[in-house]
Amino acid sequence: MNRLEELRKEIDNIDSQISSLLVKRFKKSLDIAEVKANMQKHVYDPDRERLVLENVLREIEDKTFEMYVHDVYKKIIELSKDIQHMRFHEED
């Protein structure tokens, strides 16, 4: 196996871990949607979004990638809200 194949194999393994973790995170978003519905809270919570981003960015050791991680997490948050909205509409 050449160096390129080795690196791609490593990326494939990382991608597998990321996808599993994203599914777990999205399932938790569904759980949160149920709790929010019971509490009659809205899906959108700007303070929580800001806190999530702050917490994630604080953990980044190599700041070279901070902007990219920020953008990825903005998308994850957006998709999580979509999932929560989907759950809210199922209950209508």
pLDDT digits 0-9 by tens, 36-81: 999 999 999 999 999 999 999 999 999 999 999 999 999 999 999 9
- Cα dihedral 79→81→86→90 (10° resolution): 150
pLDDT above 70: percentage of residues in the chain: 97
Residue pair 83/31 in contact (Cβ under 8 Å)? The answer is: no
Instruction: Name the architecture of domain 3-90.
Output: Up-down Bundle (1.20)
The predicted model scores a pTM of 0.90
